[in-house]
Structure 1
Amino acid sequence: MTRNFIDITALALSIVLVTGCAINRSATADGAPLARQVTESDHCGLTAPGLVYIRNASELDSLSRLPSGNLSMNQLRAIDLDQEHLVLVGLGQKSTGGYGVTLETAEIVDDVLELTLKAREPSPDAMVTQALTTPCAVIAISPEDWERLRVSGEGLDTITRER
């Protein structure tokens, strides 16, 4: 009797552990990456650190109105926004050149699309331009199978956004 109780308890715990584990994915159902970096720029026009989430053409058009932004709008307009959405991640205004941000990984954990980026800054002895910059990266993401977006990484504050 005790042996049956132990076996049933072990089976029940195993089922709970398996169903309670996080669902992780690093690709879409078609095998495409969840995220890819489309472009980056030293002058995006976002003077504060943060992100802009773009789902459609009218939201994309608002990027062209950013002050002193120089993103390649033709390259961004070529993206099918029914298949991929865009996330612009900006570092805010910097006093010199040499700053940038790069996508490192993308993964869906449960219902959260987690983008890990790396911010870079010039070394203290680097020769850099003496001009105000607003560096950013534009990342195309899968709009499916997630409810919350989390952007974090080395040199960045964590930013979360509901879909």
Structure 2
Amino acid sequence: MTTTVKSRLSLAVVALGTALLAGCTATGPSNLRVHEVALSGGANQRIAWVYGTLSGPSSSLKLNGNTLEVRPQVQDDLSTPGSLSVNGKATYQVSTASSAQKLSVTQDAAGRFNLTAMNSASLLAVYYTDGTNWWKLNGISGTVSATPSTGLRGAGQLTDDEGDALARALDGQGSLAVAVLNENPTPLSVEPKPTEHRMTSLYVLPGIRTTTGGTTGTVTMNPGSSNTGNSRPSAPAAGFTEVARGANARVDDPTVRIATTTAELGEIYRLAYGNQSSPPTPTPLNNETAVAVFIGQRTTGGYGVRVERVVASGGTLNVTVAIQAPQAGMITTQALTSPWVLVKVPGVFTQVNVVDMAGQPLP
């Protein structure tokens, strides 16, 4: 083979390699925008929403060095209007290393919060959820009150839709504080370069303790029933009142407890609030029966339990509960939890049967 032929072959190989590399370049959607949130504390991960306009059914881009396919959005808790799916999911997510604790929060019976920044953390705002509702705290240090909030709207550079989506993903995991940090972590690398790249840094603190007495809760009724008045043990329960629920009981295994006296209710409170420094004082029972359902210890957040239906039969209460478990891709706090719910019904009952929505007995 002559030198001229060898040179031509070498040039052909180089040209082929260049073409292959060009074919691997991530072109991305037009008007590419990336919005990131860096979570630390109870959840350690990066989440990125990708926005842009597709010229066809799909496109590609590189995030954090990984080539990913983007398509029209799928539906899950983190999807937002106008965003694109990334490899078939609503967002791009990657786990990150744990960090030092940056916040201490306790709540008193009057609903006030005591905040302390830790390890030189600089806070911009703090939000709180009881697992269902959200508040924004009226301060970032000391003893402060709180104002009802629509999820995490207004947190850092999150859009309202992203704040709503992130709040949905954190719902049902018990009491949490979410601090907006005055930090600028290095953003994920993106190719091609986006026209906009937002970054929000949040610290998630699970298991907020109540330091003094008092209970909070919502009232849940059986359809078409009333929670007033007394009922005879032989009649169906007229309804039920949810007294409280939580995710940090001192109970390892699934357990059901029944109370017809205030002393017995106090024992339930000691189990439900046993990991708090000072359990609330129960309201005395007055010709009522309290039922507590504990689903046992779980290794992450995202679990919960609620009562759906109560029916009386003689001296027995038949209780149906719905048990919540983390969905695939759900943001879960990395902390031991032990969810529970406490309800009371009019009348005095001596037995209780608890089943899940499939009719399986608990425990």
1:32 and 1:122 map into 2 onto residues whose CA distance is 32
1:56-107, Cα deviation, whole Å (9 max, x unpaired)? 2222333454342589624xx22x4122221110010000011111111111
The answer for the alignment partner of 1:39 in structure 2 is 244
Structure 1 residues 84 and 138, CA gap change in structure 2 (3 angstroms): same
Structure 1 residues 29 and 85, CA gap change in structure 2 (3 angstroms): closer
1:32-64, Cα deviation, whole Å (9 max, x unpaired)? 833222111011211110111122222233345
1:130 and 1:86 map into 2 onto residues whose CA distance is 31
The answer for the alignment partner of 1:68 in structure 2 is 275
1:151 and 1:106 map into 2 onto residues whose CA distance is 9
Alignment counterpart, residue 262 of structure 2, candidates 33, 39, 57: 57
2:231 and 2:343 map into 1 onto residues whose CA distance is 19
Which one-letter code corresponds to 1:82 in the other structure?
N
Alignment counterpart, residue 332 of structure 2, candidates 128, 143, 155: 128
Segments of structure 1 that go 5 or more residues without pairing to the other structure are 1-25
Which is worse superposed, 43-52 or 58-67? 58-67
Whether the aligned pair in 1 keeps the contact of 2:231 and 2:346 (CA below 8 Å) is no
Greater percentage in helix: 1
1:128-157, Cα deviation, whole Å (9 max, x unpaired)? 10000000000112334x553211113785
Q: TM-score, normalised by structure 1?
A: 0.65
Q: TM-score, normalised by structure 2?
A: 0.32
Whether the aligned pair in 2 keeps the contact of 1:101 and 1:120 (CA below 8 Å) is yes
Q: 2:348 matched to 1:141?
A: no
Segments of structure 2 that go 5 or more residues without pairing to the other structure are 1-224
Which is worse superposed, 31-40 or 106-115? 31-40
Q: Quick one: percent identity of the two aligned structures?
A: 24
1:6-155 aligned at under 5 Å gives the runs 29=231, 33-66=238-271, 67-68=274-275, 73-74=280-281, 77-78=282-283, 80-144=284-348, 146-154=349-357
Whether the aligned pair in 2 keeps the contact of 1:44 and 1:71 (CA below 8 Å) is no
Give the 4+ runs in structure 1 shifted more than 4 A.
26-32, 69-72
The structure whose Rg is larger is 2
Whether the aligned pair in 2 keeps the contact of 1:120 and 1:155 (CA below 8 Å) is no
2:340 and 2:255 map into 1 onto residues whose CA distance is 9
1:72 and 1:36 map into 2 onto residues whose CA distance is 20
2:319 and 2:277 map into 1 onto residues whose CA distance is 24
Matched residue of 2:266: which SS? helix
Structure 1 residues 71 and 97, CA gap change in structure 2 (3 angstroms): farther
1:148 and 1:122 map into 2 onto residues whose CA distance is 31
- Tell me the C-alpha RMSD between the 2 structures: 3.1
Matched residue of 1:92: which SS? coil
1:46 and 1:69 map into 2 onto residues whose CA distance is 13
Matched residue of 2:264: which SS? helix
